[in-house]
Amino acid sequence: MKNKALSAFMATAITATLVLPVSHANAASNVSSLNHSIQIDAQVAATKTKGQTVTITSITKDKVLTSNGQFNISQTLKHLFNTANSTALKNAQATIVVQNGEITSVTALTLTKAGTKNNTVYFDGGDAQIEGSLTVNADYVKIQNVTIEDELIVTNRVKKAITIDNVTIGDTITFKPVLIRNINWLNVSLKDIKSPNINLKRTKVNVTSDKAISKIEVVGKVTAFEVTANVDKLTIDVEKDFSLYGKGKIEQVVVKHGAKVALNSGHLINKVQVDDKKASVTLPVLNKTELSNLVASPPYVAVSFNGYDVLTTEKWTTQAERTAFESAVSNARAVVYNSNASQEQVNNAITQYRIALNVYQAAQKNGTKYVYGDKSSLQSMIYSVQYVKVSWNNGNDVASYEPWTTQSEKDALTSAVSSAQSVVNNNYATQYDITNAISNLNYAITVYKNVQKNSTYQYNVDRSALLSLINSVQYVTVSVNGSELSSYVIWTTQSEKDALVSAVSYAQNIANNSSSSLSDISSAYYYLNNAISTYRSNYRSGVNSWHYVDKSWLQSLINSVQYVKVSANGDGTDIPYYELWTTEREKRDLEKAVQHAQSIVNNYYASSYEVTDAINSLNKAITIYNDVQSSGKQR
């Protein structure tokens, strides 16, 4: 580009010399005089090539109206001086090169027309080129689709926001300083800018970029800067204290000057170089919690050659598959124990561990060894089943002192008993099959007892009927929560039993009192009958069984969950910059996963598959929760 410009420059200079009026006397001048003339005219040509400075007043389809008159538009600048840019170019300052009344190039352009938060001013270059610098001197402007040979300058008049989209910049994006003391944050959005360089002289600039930024130089009186992007090199050369905010990956930070330089943002910083020995630099704090939790209890399974020695309810892998996973665990633990590890190394270790875990779990298979279990408890439970009367008329066809169910309710229990008996009769039933059958039958018995009702047909009863009802009362085991009882043992709480004991005592007093009337006896009878129904509705089954699944790792994972602050505003503006935050919904998502995992821990009959699935689900939820965490914006 420079050689081409130089050739054009020399051609212009020579042409300018040749067209100068020359007398016959001067025509005979020597070569040295000609060279001197060329040098002088070259300087003049260079000045002309720089162009004339004008103020753009308006744009039509073919012309640009300026403070120096109107000019035609060359084909290469048609998109730049498009009527769609009329608003953006209103009162813009431009340095233009004009040939034969036509604008052939723009060597400088300053935009002065401001937009608003809800009405941005757009400047679309249409892939045209500015052969110099572009200066933005107004707020809420979007620059797009233009090539700038030199700088893109953002002045102190840009106070709120600016967007730069698909712009090629030859030099740097320069942010000029703001001299006032109390200033707001300037939000800068960079989109599709390939490897931009930034020269930052202004404090409180918040830059977001969807592409990596090559270099950022922070200089002068800048005290705070936020960048959400990947950065190759960040140089800090400030006069006083400085704080970095945002997130992303920074390959290198160089601190040339500064007092207290805080780098403990949400960034992953690979290397920090401090040139100023007097600077106090605060480095990012490593977060190894997730990695430590992952390697605390690796989910190893049995090792086998062919699975013949592993139960059908258990998983196994080969020794080679186990060794490969153990190697990943060992590498991850090495990072945990390495006090000099970077956050990037920690994150990479987490990723590699998860990859190895997925491979290890994919290789796991169920064993083929059957263990035939003890069926005596299941058979005893089957024998203990007692059916009550079946009513076909909503209890009106059953004596009031007898409980009843419908035929369909009895059939449900009969079906469960039949299924349990088939397990007893199965010579190949495993302990898992037996335990599952006990659980299903116990549930069916509980449901059957809960649906039992007493007859709605009431009539006066005699003393013998009351005594018979009192003698029919049977108490079950008393427990606090059933945890110490086998799954086929029925229990209630002490208070539930006491309520029935009190009703029995009252009925017994009425029965023993020879002066009790028939009405008193009937009332006592129905009172006790209702108490018996209430007592039976509170029946529960024990939760203890011999079927055991190790849930310690799942419980450990639940205990490791750590929540961060919740931003009520939803954007982190109410959270201090040194604390992490999420939204309420993101926190609730993790809480739901924790609650599900805890329910598996609390479920005595949870299988090893359910435990493993809960571990994987909770791990995934924790990863998602950690990924959405951001640093607060309150300063």
CB atoms within 10 A of CB 387: 11
CA distance 91 to 111: 8
pLDDT score, position 547: 45
Between residues 396 and 15, which one has the greater pLDDT? 396
- On whether both 25 and 146 belong to a single domain, the answer is no
pLDDT score, position 194: 77
Q: Is residue 509 part of a domain?
A: no
Rounded to two decimals, the pTM is 0.47
pLDDT digits (tens, 9 = 90+) for 202-245: 999 999 999 999 999 999 999 999 999 999 999 999 999 999 99
pLDDT score, position 466: 87
- On whether both 145 and 230 belong to a single domain, the answer is yes
pLDDT score, position 34: 38
Return the CATH number at 604.
Answer: 1.20.1270.90
Sheet architecture: strand order including 490-492: 477-478, 490-492, 540-541
Given a contact cutoff of 8 angstroms between Cβ atoms, the answer to whether 580 and 631 are in contact is yes
CA distance 137 to 92: 9
Percent of the chain whose pLDDT exceeds 70: 87
pLDDT digits (tens, 9 = 90+) for 5-39: 333 333 333 323 222 333 333 433 444 443 444 34
Beta bridge partners, 443, equal none
Given a contact cutoff of 8 angstroms between Cβ atoms, the answer to whether 449 and 536 are in contact is yes
pLDDT at 464 over 90: no
Instruction: Find the farthest-apart pair of alpha carbons in the chain and give their distance in angstroms, rounded.
Output: 161
Q: What is the mean pLDDT of residues 36-61?
A: 65
- On whether both 588 and 560 belong to a single domain, the answer is yes
CB atoms within 10 A of CB 137: 19
- On whether both 120 and 165 belong to a single domain, the answer is yes
Structure tokens at 376: 């005596």
pLDDT at 597 over 50: yes
- On whether both 10 and 36 belong to a single domain, the answer is yes
- Give the contacts of 64 (CB within 8 A, at least 6 positions apart): 56, 70, 71, 73, 81, 103
Buried b (16+ CB within 10 A) or exposed e, 471-492: eeeeebeebeebeebbbbbbbb
pLDDT score, position 460: 57
pLDDT score, position 399: 66
pLDDT at 145 over 50: yes
Single-letter residue type at 488: Y
Q: What is the mean pLDDT of residues 333-343?
A: 82
Between residues 82 and 603, which one has the greater pLDDT? 82
Angle at 358 between CA 357 and CA 359, to 5 degrees: 90
Provide the domain limits for residue 138: 51-282
Single-letter residue type at 397: D
- On whether both 14 and 91 belong to a single domain, the answer is no
Q: Is residue 405 part of a domain?
A: no
Q: What is the mean pLDDT of residues 38-45?
A: 42
Given a contact cutoff of 8 angstroms between Cβ atoms, the answer to whether 530 and 506 are in contact is no
Q: Is residue 323 part of a domain?
A: yes
Percent of the chain whose pLDDT exceeds 90: 44
- Give which of 365, 391, 549 is closest to 456, Cα–Cα: 391
Give the 3-state secondary structure of 338-403: CCCCCHHHHHHHHHHHHHHHHHHHHCCEECCECCECCCHHHHHHHHHCCCCEECCCCCCCCCCCCE
Q: Pick the range with the lowest mean pLDDT from 162-166, 370-374, 423-427, 543-547.
A: 543-547
Q: Is residue 5 part of a domain?
A: yes
CA distance 448 to 497: 20
pLDDT digits (tens, 9 = 90+) for 491-503: 899 999 999 999 9
Handedness of CA 9, 15, 19, 22 (dihedral sign): positive
pLDDT score, position 373: 63
pLDDT at 609 over 80: no
Handedness of CA 446, 447, 450, 456 (dihedral sign): negative
- Give the contacts of 293 (CB within 8 A, at least 6 positions apart): 556, 557, 560
Sequential DSSP letters for 268-310: EEEEEEE--TT-EEEPPPP--HHHHHHHHS----EE-SSSTTS
Quote the mean pLDDT of the chain: 84
- On whether both 38 and 57 belong to a single domain, the answer is no
- On whether both 196 and 330 belong to a single domain, the answer is no
- On whether both 571 and 621 belong to a single domain, the answer is yes
- Give the contacts of 156 (CB within 8 A, at least 6 positions apart): 176, 177, 178, 179, 202
Q: Is residue 415 part of a domain?
A: no
- Give which of 285, 288, 219, 207 is closest to 248, Cα–Cα: 207
C-alpha separations of 87 from 135, 367, 626 in Å? 16, 75, 45
Structure tokens at 626: 């950690």
pLDDT score, position 47: 43
Structure tokens at 214: 């090559």
CA distance 168 to 615: 49
CA distance 230 to 210: 9
Q: Pick the range with the lowest mean pLDDT from 93-102, 276-285, 296-305, 426-435.
A: 426-435
Q: Is residue 519 part of a domain?
A: no
Q: Pick the range with the lowest mean pLDDT from 234-248, 304-318, 324-338, 594-608.
A: 594-608
- Residue whose entry in the numeric block shows the structure tokens 């309150």: 634
Phi, psi at 35, each rounded to 5°:
-65, -40
Handedness of CA 307, 310, 316, 320 (dihedral sign): negative
CB atoms within 10 A of CB 254: 16
- On whether both 260 and 315 belong to a single domain, the answer is no
Q: Is residue 266 part of a domain?
A: yes
pLDDT at 295 over 60: yes
pLDDT score, position 32: 43
pLDDT at 119 over 90: yes
CA distance 104 to 350: 57
pLDDT digits (tens, 9 = 90+) for 466-492: 898 899 898 988 888 777 676 667 889
Question: Which among 250, 282, 314 is the end of a domain?
Answer: 282
pLDDT at 135 over 50: yes
CA distance 420 to 568: 54
Structure tokens at 452: 């039992």
The tally of CA atoms less than 13 A away on the side-chain side of residue 33 is 7
pLDDT at 585 over 60: yes
pLDDT score, position 296: 85
- The total number of structural domains in the chain stands at 4
pLDDT score, position 613: 80
pLDDT score, position 56: 96
Structure tokens at 296: 């605390």
- On whether both 321 and 342 belong to a single domain, the answer is yes
Question: Which among 220, 249, 282 is the end of a domain?
Answer: 282
Q: Is residue 525 part of a domain?
A: no
The tally of CA atoms less than 13 A away on the side-chain side of residue 196 is 28
304 three-state secondary structure: coil
* Most confident option among 222-236, 359-373, 546-560: 222-236
Question: Which among 282, 305, 333 is the end of a domain?
Answer: 282
- On whether both 9 and 96 belong to a single domain, the answer is no
Q: What is the mean pLDDT of residues 178-194?
A: 89
